[in-house]
Amino acid sequence: MPTQQYYNAKGERIPGNTTVISANLGWKTPGLMGWQKKLIKEQMCESCLAKYVDPYDVRDEAADAGTYGHALIEWEIKRHIDPKFPQPEIPLNKEVKEKGEAAYLNYLEWAEQTRFTPITMEVPCVSEILQTGTTIDVIGMVAARLSIVECKTSNAVYEDFLIQVAMQAAAWNETHPNESIEGLHLLKVGKEEATFTHHYWHVLPEGLEAFKHLRALHDIKKKLKKLL
């Protein structure tokens, strides 16, 4: 899928929130893991090195169950808005299939308990205040409150998830002043076991504050590059 492009009121291209967060948030970075891998391999004996397994390979293989569970949940949400949204293909691996379906069934239980009703999906928003664009995955009613619903495949809830939804709520509220977001919901599907968990915040002022700093840093980095 091509990268979404965003433009402000002046017609100037501006970054998306994912770009701002991923390029400037150093709290968890793939580069650090790469350095750790290199250091470990340098200190291993030849016989041990022959048995070395790249953690990225393990991660990608283990992610199948969570990815499938996420795909089923996404299909269930989005088919209510777009009946033509394709159903995910069933994995050949029986264990992966069963774990993914278990996450899906847990999601259905949550949706029933909270009376979740999807309204719209893939909503682009441009914040003139933050000079950043974003595309909100799903807007819907959760417990009778207008909410952002974001689904992630991950073994943990990371700070950047909170920063993302906080920025999206700010962008939506700026562009829809008469339809304010009243809840932020994160649905997390674990990678290996496809466990399903739900996280809720009414507001995330710390997340929005963090995004503002990242946005400022994004511009500073561009200025520094011009000096090289």
CA atoms within 13 A of residue 43's CA, in its CB half-sphere: 6
Q: Helix, strand or coil for residue 37?
A: helix
As to burial, measured by CB atoms within 10 angstroms (0-12 exposed, 13-18 middle, 19+ buried), residue 196 is buried
What's the whole-number mean pLDDT along residues 100-124? 96
Of all residues in the chain, the percent with pLDDT exceeding 90 is 77
Between 41 and 158, the more confident residue is 158
Q: Which CATH class is domain 31-226?
A: alpha beta
How do residues 116-154 score in pLDDT, each as one tens digit? 999 999 999 999 999 999 999 999 999 999 999 999 999
How do residues 162-217 score in pLDDT, each as one tens digit? 999 999 999 999 999 999 999 999 999 999 899 999 999 999 999 999 999 999 99
| Of residues 2, 190, 198, 217, the one with CA closest to residue 96 | 190
What's the whole-number mean pLDDT along residues 210-225? 96
**Domain-by-domain residue ranges, the chain?**
31-226
**Whether the model pTM is above 0.85:** no
* Measured distance CA(183)–CA(169) in Å, rounded: 9
